[in-house]
Chains A and B, each alone.
Chain A
């Protein structure tokens, strides 16, 4: 598939709005082509893309996790590459990604302080997940065990990037970000456990799991443009209607309403640009219960959307934190969370390998989506592959797995293994943000602060 890159910069509202107030209007709509014009003057291939690929339950444990687990890790360390530096030799579990020359960082761990009493905060599922995603610890308040109300203190990296002034500037894509999911299994029935992206505390962004829903969001162009314009105008009335209420609220209630209204303005902006989709629209997708097959479908749609500029930020949750997904297809009888904790090393190895194969399918699609200049989405992208802890056997956050795929327009070195045992995990965040052109003197919070990036990986 190939896609012509173009930007949808022109609001139809400026063209049509004057017509709304009047009586009978017979205004010919300008041809869409004229409204979109040429691809914007700058070099679109210079715009970087940021993506997150998330898989659950870390990697099989090994001696690097800091405990003597020799008898329980019959295959030894199948994650950490045996050589460091450029053109490293891939480990067995990283072999599926080798074709895309991914870089990896090993040995890193969260440095955030664990409050006492820790109230669940030292739990790898939560601590590792949140530090990897936000550079900060989980919100200490409100966590209690029956509900496991897991939430963050600040946006996850994808949402931080998507709303950063230095990333989109004044011309955000039609979608600032897309949050996609594959497995629908979750550790709890609680919404917070089935999302990896957050815009802030208590603000999970639910992943889209359905290929049909994703396709509709991205590629279904409403035919009645006049009605679209009226929907845009209607939102002005809704916003005005909310004003009186806003003034009566305090604290969190006010913040919740304001977030709602901010989202509504974003929806309004998107409706205004709603005819902006790709020139070449992919075929309507099927679906599959198999995780790799569904990844294939979702990643194909995502790559098309990235290639034609519908968004430049995504999160891709293959499986959710502490997933209970039962990998029947691999002969694993119990949910993954359980087999990790039961110390069933071989099961964890085969599941992790399977999850890496899914990661590779995503990267295949990003590499295959190429613009007319021959630049692929993966060339422009920085894809952060991440899980919640080093391994599940002891909930250990030592030796967090970190994959950085893509060239980020030349800002990232590909095929490099950075190793620093006990190093600060937030160096990953600094690396990514700097690669994306976002000024980042330091990153990390509550003890996780660092000014350093991963030397050797940041070009």
Chain B
């Protein structure tokens, strides 16, 4: 039986189970959300019910009174981008790309796939081939290999070989080699050299690149002198954690030096390094990766629209939409360092020529490749990313909108709620009943409300989804659906709203938005779902996030020094 990242709900992640399906035993939905949808008060810290079908956590694990206790460690395998970042760090830029097994992203995050999905045989073969190709590319190039090794080995096993392997090993394993490891790779460099010390080093490098110590992040901890009930991460392990969080790649030499000096055991030392990393361009890329996963932007890559039906939808449109979100995220984190929740309410955005046309806004200086900041009109229909192309398009069908998909995204991605899947053997056709006189998507979906099997969930999903009905399948504003006037009224948890601007206003003060960001970041940072016993640390993190006016960089710094990020429990069955 595989141990899953368990669904400790950890406060912000709320199952709407009992609201959706009548037949859930109480144990599966308990207090989590039986009245969630009705009151909007879905996020109390006592909402610890395990979703259906998971290993039921006992509620006492998550009682707010219990002190924090760390979770067991996980063993993340490097994601594709982390592997490539590590290779560039070790061997330098400009090496040929090699195919690797695609990542999986359960619960939205590649880092969770990295701790739960087993690699396939082909994936291992690709690691072997990549190690061979990359090491050969470096060592077949005299300039490149001398730059890497830093000295010229005169004979297999000489001081140059030993010195290089020690330094390379520390960067590759993100800690110094043990004596056994240095001996092992020195022996390999000797035995496979065939008299050519360069060739021997090539094979040693190829071996190190296949080692699980390189391919997996080993963060198993050491005894914590301050607390015998738990383990703390070693300095080397903290260096790895921090750099993979902030750079999506391995620590540099300075960070490893700080680890070696013991600096990373202190808040001050950790914060100094984290701030240094955050100022590096690598952090921008890494944070974009987090937001792309949290906002599920990869789905845009699979969007297709028939150009005859949607002449504005150019082949570059999805890329433009994605770039727009990236620029907005970057603006809120780095340029203004302001409340990240404005993502869902700001009238500011960034458009190129085709987006300006799609949104019908003036954008001086915009071109097909130049994005310029614009302020959406105060009396216009748009504010926040839920009114922008990326969200509206990827949550619509090719020819018609999908209030269901849009409402579901709001519930799941923005508010961190869980919507159970539809029951089996359900009639999913809403459109072909001859006796039905529905004309608009909205009228068709209102059939959901008439069928008790559907109404449980769809009464939670569809009403906020209707708020986006003024935006068609590519995110353009419209006043008619199928020739009939749009009705974009709806509600969120029974608070009546009219249109997406109303929703943006409501989200400004909705505490679930910030809490959801904390939880999603924690999942991304740890590569798993939070355990109930970690709840106190998450709540503390959320309080700090509120106190810091929801600035995302501060949240990252608070996370780095949080005890939840620095401690682990002992592996029970090691």
Contacts and interface: CB of A to CB of B under 8 A. Distances in A.
A116 B212 contact: no
Contacts of B203: 230, 234
Contacts of B113: 190-191
A237 B419 CA distance: 48
A96 interface: no
Contacts of B73: 253
Interface stretch (A18-26, A30-38, A357-365, A369-377): A18-26
Interface stretch (A87-95, A118-126, A379-387, A437-445): A118-126
B25 A116 contact: yes
Interface in A169-189: 176, 179, 185-186, 189
Interface stretch (A6-14, A198-206, A400-408): A198-206
A122 B498 CA distance: 36
B451 interface: no
Contacts of A203: 117-118, 120
Interface size class of B (residues with CB under 8 A): 35 or more
B425 A395 contact: yes
A20 B573 contact: no
Nearest to B409: A146
Given A117-B23, A206-B123, A252 B3 contact: yes
Interface size class of A (residues with CB under 8 A): 35 or more
Contacts of A191: 102-105, 113, 117
A213 B124 contact: no
Given A146-B108, A191-B117, A192-B104, A260 B194 contact: no
Nearest to A332: B398
Interface in B335-373: none
Given A145-B419, A393-B428, A117 B52 contact: yes
A400 to B, nearest CB: 14
B510 interface: no
A235 B212 CA distance: 12
Interface string B77-119: 1000000000000000000000101111111100001001111
A275 to B, nearest CB: 16
Contacts of A393: 427-429
B211 A242 contact: yes
Nearest to A115: B53
Given A117-B53, A145-B419, A147-B106, A123 B118 contact: no
A294 B24 CA distance: 45
A282 interface: no
Interface stretch (B246-254, B280-288, B301-309, B385-393): B301-309
Interface string B419-430: 111111111111
A330 to B, nearest CB: 13
Given A146-B418, A203-B117, A238-B210, A263 B574 contact: no
A342 B296 CA distance: 25
Contact of B424 (A122, A144, A192, A338): A122
Contacts of B74: 253
A76 interface: no
B571 A253 contact: yes
A350 interface: no
A251 B482 CA distance: 56
| Best-buried of B74, B302, B571 by chain A (most CB within 10 Å) | B302
A238 B301 CA distance: 37
A141 B428 contact: no
A392 B429 CA distance: 10
B218 interface: yes
A27 to B, nearest CB: 11
Contacts of A342: 428-432
Given A116-B23, A146-B412, A257-B212, A202 B128 contact: no
Interface string B287-315: 00000000010110110101001000000
A342 B445 CA distance: 12
Given A237-B188, A256-B75, A343 B429 contact: yes
Contact of A267 (B17, B118, B128): B128
B51 A119 contact: yes
B447 to A, nearest CB: 13
B107 A119 contact: no
A225 interface: no
A236 to B, nearest CB: 9
A189 B106 contact: no
Contacts of A237: 184-185, 187-188, 207
A134 interface: no
Contacts of B421: 119-120, 123, 143, 145, 148
A328 B305 CA distance: 10
A233 interface: yes
A326 interface: yes
A86 interface: no
Given A147-B106, A263-B124, A20 B192 contact: yes
Given A117-B52, A145-B418, A267-B125, A206 B423 contact: no
A126 to B, nearest CB: 9
B493 interface: no
19 contacts: A118-B424, A142-B4, A176-B121, A189-B302, A202-B116, A203-B120, A233-B192, A242-B211, A244-B180, A250-B572, A251-B571, A253-B74, A256-B75, A257-B212, A257-B216, A260-B212, A393-B429, A394-B428, A395-B425
> Which 8 interchain pairs have the tightest Cβ spacing?
A122-B424, A191-B104, A343-B429, A119-B53, A250-B574, A250-B571, A120-B421, A263-B124
Interface of A: 20-21, 23-25, 67, 71-72, 114-124, 127, 139-149, 176, 179, 185-186, 189-192, 194, 199-206, 208, 213, 226, 230-231, 233-235, 237-238, 240-242, 244-245, 247-257, 259-261, 263-264, 266-267, 270-271, 324, 326, 328, 333-335, 338, 341-343, 392-397
Interface of B: 1-5, 7, 17, 21, 23-25, 28, 51-55, 72-75, 77, 99, 101-108, 113, 116-125, 128, 132, 178, 180-181, 184-185, 187-188, 191-192, 194-195, 203, 206-207, 210-213, 215-216, 218, 220, 296, 298-299, 301-302, 304, 306, 309, 397-399, 412-413, 418-432, 434, 571-574
